[in-house]
């Protein structure tokens, strides 16, 4: 189904031929190692590139250019996938057969994407200071917004402490102080480094012939001076030891966050069983954590678990009264033990399977959803197609889930509480 074409060393095009949609999509990602030194730079770069290029030097000119392409759209793309950070642009545009006779969409869209990526607005040989400062403010505001969302803040603090020896502890958007330190000169130097050495992943969803698309895209990269690096393979969690920490802040509701480790990652045969465990355990409205701790026992305001398959980490986050942390932690561990002992009802198993199957069915609902699944799978090492994934879900048993649950070990506990 996926056709993979090597355009040049370090430049890979993946195509998902699909004629169901009137809109087509293309993403272009530069793959960087996830590290504190680069995270903020990588987050800021696509936003600055989208402020203008030589032929469309401001947002108004970009909008007019996209309007001429039948309302095409282009946006920044930033992902953290395990040990990698992917930064770049994505675009969507109308299939050419729906344009007026004699008018082109595909080739002009590729040309405009090239201009945005490789011919940005410069002043004195570096990025325009006005654009850099404006996007720095936007990025800093996005980082600050995470702190204002106390649930997100608490979970981020727990992950940071848990993953102090792992790239997963680096925030996707970088740290505020690193954003503030960026200058037009440093960002442009990083941009040149990204163009020169980053592996490039392109993903296309649409009806165009993949070989013709490759012929159109290859000359774009042939113009660049490239010396691509080879990124190391994705790695499981690097453990430097856990901790138990309480932070006091002016909050009315406490946030209890717990981090567990498992050797099962999305590259392992038990990955699907672990996904189902997480769904039974705490990911959803009929999970054990929600039904038992919130609904039956009224010990929390909200509770949820997440499985980060690229690293083998399961996190639990609960909003609670500030004097209930010990009781809620005890009950979370009790529900984990229930899963480990195979105390999973047919109703819980059926609901968990249906939740995952519904997610997988939606994978092919739009070009964006298709790109999101397969582009991330290529980076993370996931080998399952949605169809294979669905079959594995349908065939999984409660015993498989219990076996996966038994691999979990409590690693880190972080509690954000109000002042006494």
Task: Convert the pLDDT of each residue in 59-73 to its tens digit.
Answer: 999 999 999 999 999
CA distance 231 to 18: 31
Tell me what pLDDT residue 67 has. Answer: 97
* Residue 127 pLDDT level (bands cut at 50, 70, 90): very high
Q: What percent of the chain has pLDDT over 90?
A: 97
Q: Residue 59 corresponds to which tokens in the numbers above?
A: 């947002």
Q: What is the dihedral of CA 114, 119, 121, 127, to 10 degrees?
A: 110
3-state DSSP assignment of residue 65: helix
Beta bridge partners of 91: 26, 74
**Chain mean position to CA 234:** 15
Q: At residue 196, does pLDDT exceed 80? A: yes
* Residue 146 pLDDT level (bands cut at 50, 70, 90): confident
For the domain made up of 3-222, the CATH class stated in words is alpha beta
Q: What is the pLDDT of residues 77-107, one digit of tens each?
A: 999 999 999 999 999 999 999 999 999 999 9
Q: At residue 52, does pLDDT exceed 80? A: yes
Task: Tell me the average pLDDT across 403-413.
Answer: 98
Tell me what pLDDT residue 285 has. Answer: 85
Q: What is the mean pLDDT of the chain?
A: 96
Q: Residue 317 corresponds to which tokens in the numbers above?
A: 């986050």
Tell me what pLDDT residue 419 has. Answer: 83
Q: Are 237 and 312 in contact (CB under 8 A)?
A: yes
CB-based contacts of 194, cutoff 8 Å, min separation 6: 30, 32, 42, 45, 87
Beta bridge partners of 305: 316
Q: At residue 147, does pLDDT exceed 90? A: no
CA distance 230 to 227: 10
Q: How many CB atoms lie within 10 A of CB 289?
A: 26
CB-based contacts of 159, cutoff 8 Å, min separation 6: 168, 169, 259, 313, 315
> Which sign does the torsion angle of CA 361, 362, 365, 370 carry?
negative
Residues of the chain with CATH 3.30.830.10: 3-222, 244-417
Per DSSP (E only), the strands in 104-170 are 122-123, 126-127
CB-based contacts of 356, cutoff 8 Å, min separation 6: 275, 276, 279, 393
Tell me what pLDDT residue 171 has. Answer: 95
**CATH of region 244-417:** 3.30.830.10
Q: pTM score, two decimals?
A: 0.94
Q: What is the pLDDT of residues 22-32, one digit of tens each?
A: 999 999 999 99
Q: Residue 257 corresponds to which tokens in the numbers above?
A: 């966050």
**Chain mean position to CA 145:** 18
CA distance 36 to 179: 11
CB-based contacts of 28, cutoff 8 Å, min separation 6: 88, 89, 90, 113, 117, 200, 201, 202
* Residue 253 pLDDT level (bands cut at 50, 70, 90): very high
Q: Are 382 and 266 in contact (CB under 8 A)?
A: yes
Tell me what pLDDT residue 108 has. Answer: 95
Q: At residue 420, does pLDDT exceed 80? A: no
């Amino acid at each position: 189904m996926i056709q993979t074409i090597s355009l040049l060393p370090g430049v890979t095009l993946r195509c998902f031929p699909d004629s169901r949609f009137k809109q087509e999509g293309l993403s272009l990602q530069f793959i960087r190692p996830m590290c504190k030194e680069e995270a903020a730079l990588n987050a800021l770069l696509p936003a600055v590139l989208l402020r203008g290029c030589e032929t469309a030097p401001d947002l108004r000119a970009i909008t007019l250019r996209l309007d001429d392409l039948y309302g095409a759209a282009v946006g920044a793309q930033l992902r953290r996938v395990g040990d990698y950070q992917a930064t770049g642009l994505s675009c969507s545009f109308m299939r050419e057969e729906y344009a007026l006779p004699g008018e082109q969409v595909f080739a002009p869209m590729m040309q405009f994407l090239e201009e945005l990526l490789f011919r940005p607005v410069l002043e004195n040989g570096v990025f325009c200071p006005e654009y850099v400062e404006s996007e720095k403010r936007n990025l800093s505001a996005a980082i600050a917004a995470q702190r204002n969302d106390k649930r997100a803040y608490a979970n981020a603090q727990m992950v940071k402490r848990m993953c102090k020896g792992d790239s997963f502890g680096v925030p996707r958007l970088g740290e505020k102080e690193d954003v503030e330190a960026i200058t037009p000169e440093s960002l442009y130097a990083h941009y040149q480094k990204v163009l020169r050495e980053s592996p490039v992943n392109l993903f296309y969803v649409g009806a165009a012939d993949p070989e013709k698309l490759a012929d159109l895209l290859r000359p774009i990269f042939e113009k660049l001076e490239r010396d691509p690096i080879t990124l190391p393979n994705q790695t499981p969690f690097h453990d430097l030891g856990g901790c138990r920490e309480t932070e006091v802040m002016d909050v009315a509701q406490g946030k209890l966050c717990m981090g567990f480790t498992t050797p099962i990652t999305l590259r392992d045969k038990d990955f699907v069983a672990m996904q189902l465990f997480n769904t039974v355990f705490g990911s959803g409205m009929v999970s054990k954590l929600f039904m038992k701790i919130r609904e039956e026992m009224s010990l929390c305001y909200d509770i949820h678990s997440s499985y980060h398959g690229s690293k083998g980490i399961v996190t639990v986050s609960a909003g609670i009264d500030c004097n209930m942390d010990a009781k809620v932690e005890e009950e979370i561990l009790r529900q984990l033990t229930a899963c480990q002992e195979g105390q999973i009802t047919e109703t819980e198993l059926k609901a968990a399977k249906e939740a995952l199957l519904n997610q997988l069915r939606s994978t092919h609902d739009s070009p964006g959803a298709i790109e999101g699944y397969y582009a991330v799978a290529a980076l993370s090492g996931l080998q399952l197609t949605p169809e294979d994934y669905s079959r594995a879900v349908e065939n999984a048993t409660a015993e498989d889930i219990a076996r996966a649950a038994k691999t979990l070990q409590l690693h880190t506990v972080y509690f954000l509480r109000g002042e006494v």
